[in-house]
Homo-oligomer: A and B are copies of this chain.
Amino acid sequence: MPVKATVLIRPKEGILDPQGQAVEEALPALGFEGVSHVHVGRLVELEVEDASQLEAMCEKLLANPLIEDYEIVTGS
């Protein structure tokens, strides 16, 4: 029975996040004030037969562990 999993991938602390910066600068220009600490990452949703493989999938394909952190949420 396949398991539903969600992987949240974020730029590591201290790593440049140009997408987040672009959003943070664009929001006030559209009239949205009081927005800070914007970070843009990726969301991967998938179904796996063997949830124990998820960490290896993240390390090898889904995330770039040098510059990104990932969080695996299963059973969602």
Contact = CB atoms under 8 A, between A and B. Distances in A.
A27 interface: yes
Interface residues of A, number: 35
Interface string A1-43: 0100000111000000000100110110010111111111111
Given A42-B42, A43-B43, A34 B57 contact: no
Copies of this protein chain in the complex: 2
A29 to B, nearest CB: 9
A12 to B, nearest CB: 13
Contacts of A30: 57, 60-61
Contact of A35 (B26, B42, B48): B48
A9 B26 CA distance: 18
